[in-house]
Amino acid sequence: MKNIGIIGTGYVGLVQGVIMAEFGMNVICMDVVSEKIEKLKKGILPIYEPGLKELLDKNVMSGRLKFFTEMHETIENSDVIFLAVGTPPKEDGSADLQYVKAVAKSIGEYMNSYKVIVNKSTVPVGTGKFVRDIVQEGLDKRGLSIEFDIVSNPEFLREGKAVRDCLTPDRVVIGAESEKAVEIMKKVYDVLYINQTPFLITSLETAEMIKYASNAFLAVKISFINEIALLADKVGANIQEIARGMGMDGRISSKFLHAGPGYGGSCFPKDTKAIADIAHTHGEQMLVIEAAIKANEKQKQKMSERIIYTVSQEVPIENAILTIWGLSFKPETDDMRDAPSIDIIRALVRAGARIRAYCPEGMKEAKWRLKDIEDYIEYCKNEYEAAEGADAIILMTEWHQFRGAYLDKVKAVMKNDYFFDLRNVFSKNIEVKEMFKYSGVGC
């Protein structure tokens, strides 16, 4: 059995650590933020992710999962070290590799035996080799000659479904430079290998590109359907039926063809900008991806413009009260990173409207991300309180809770009856359409 060290307990690192322990490995999860580690030791998760708490408790209890703050202990006690630190975007869209660099430096300083160093963070092509050089430099300084291997093993988990995605992934991609490293990685993922999950063994660079290309492709798909939805609105067509008709073609597939207010989250906005930047540094231009980025910005803008224009027909927008249902970038997460709600709320407030908001999990983060306009936003305890005195409901994120809301109760407390369904949750619900002045996205 291999001892696994995971450096960085963000979304990817933490879920990976818990799942590796569930797969039967001895796992150390390490983070420099000691408060986070202390909480994790007590079973307190820093994120909301369905199913994670149960697995965390179980594996901490069994002794397979431990939490450390000491880098050297983690490195010395691990055979396989996963780098799962953040790679936030810099001003110019390129990925900031300072944390990856710092960890690689520490590995070079503390490494005491053969290690497989695995990159889980989404990093620009060439980072594997860059990590290799930094580790080697550290060993050279210490006058040591210790063998090590670098592996790129991108993560494809979705927030809100992270546990399921890690337990039953569509594929495992391993970019490696040696057969020895590939064999060790197969042992690490023994459970998946036995379960016949497809494994793809590639070079480091190819694995690094697979992650960016996958995320960029999905972002393009969403921007594409959002653009078609704008046209569907104009010509009187129905985007859900269009998407269904398109998706019946196996070459297209129906997945990721749901029109909405634009994509958000910690991956698509960051990774599309990063791949465009990587292309620039190599003298290329990603025309399709850059168009998807622009279309996503336009989509958010279109949503706010439509709301402002429509509500203004009845109430001056400066007097309008607009209710937001759902703030997180998608359901089943508290993550607000690049959530479309942020840009849309800002535009509505800029126009003069006041906001009443409710989200099952996203409000804590929304409060600090929207601190500068806090005077214009009232956070409410449920969807009904949020609707009180409102001119319009804006369904921003498709939490199940909203699907089951008693809409007659909602309507009874509203002042006007606009309903902007930015996720097309109620698009086929005749009752809702009769009850409210309803509009969806492309239907």
Residues within the interface to ligand UDX (CB under 6 A)? 155-159, 215, 218, 222, 256-258, 260, 263-265, 267-268, 329-330
Q: Are 379 and 366 in contact (CB under 8 A)?
A: yes
Toward ligand UDX, which CB reaches closer, 211 or 356?
211
Please check if 168 is assigned to a binding site. no
On whether 122 is known to bind a ligand per the annotation, the reply is yes
Long-range (24+ apart) CB contacts under 8 A made by 86-91 are 86/8, 86/10, 86/121, 87/121, 87/122, 87/123, 87/270, 87/274, 88/270, 89/270, 89/273, 89/274
Tokens representing 304 are: 């706010």
* 436 annotated among ligand-binding-site residues: no
SS3 at position 203: coil
- Report the amino acid identity of residue 441: V
When the beta carbons of 138 and 269 are compared against ligand UDX, the nearer one is 269
Choose between 77 and 122: whose C-beta lies nearer to ligand UDX: 122
Q: Which of 6, 11, 30, 85 is nearest to 266 (CA)?
A: 11
Euclidean distance between CA atoms 273 and 429, whole angstroms: 38
Q: How far is the CB of 127 from ligand UDX (least distance, A)?
A: 17
Residue 132 in marked binding region: no
Q: Is 256 annotated as a binding residue?
A: yes
Name every residue whose Cβ is closer than 8 Å to that of residue 36 and which is 6 or more positions away in sequence.
9, 46
29, 166, 267, 380: the active-site residue: 267
Which residue's CB is nearer to ligand UDX, number 264 or number 442? Answer: 264
Q: How far is the CB of 24 from ligand UDX (least distance, A)?
A: 24
Least Å from the CB of residue 23 to ligand UDX: 19
267 in active site = yes
Smallest separation, CB 282 to ligand UDX (Å): 23
CB 347 within 8 A of CB 301: yes
Please identify every residue annotated as catalytic. 267
For the annotated binding site, the residues are 31, 36, 87, 122, 156-159, 211, 256-260, 264, 270, 330, 337
For the annotated binding site for NAD(+), the residues are 31, 36, 87, 122, 159, 270, 337
